[in-house]
Amino acid sequence: EPIDYGNIPGCIYTSPEVASVGMTEQQAKDAGYEIKVGKFPFTASGKASAGGNKDGFVKVIFDAKYGEWLGCHMIGDNVTEMIAEAVVARKLETTGHEIIKTIHPHPTMSEAVMEAVAAAYDEVIHL
């Protein structure tokens, strides 16, 4: 099976960390996609609040027509640990609705991914 270079995560180990996979919002628009974008700030995360570092966010980009997960971008503490959910979901061609319906433990930083996806579909509950 050929390597999908578009699904290799990029991680920058700085403070704060940066992690991404897939297209940016602009790249998706330039490619002709009609998109849904969701963003979840860590200021709304119970785990981030408890840990004392609420700087950062998760941003997701989906194809509005078919629900394909086009990209995911994160900034904040430990986001290089969180990007794998997006990489696996993209590899398995998971839809946004499948992510929303998947139980994410609470409170965790990983639920910020689910909340960003829910924001893209106007189903976010913690904002």
Residues annotated as catalytic are 106
Structure tokens at 44: 């709304």
- Is residue 38 within 8 A of residue 119, CB to CB? The reply is yes
Separation of alpha carbons 17 and 29, rounded Å: 26
Q: How many residues does the chain have?
A: 127
For residues 26, 104, 109 and 93, what is the CA-based torsion angle, rounded to 10 degrees?
-30
- Is residue 16 within 8 A of residue 103, CB to CB? The reply is no
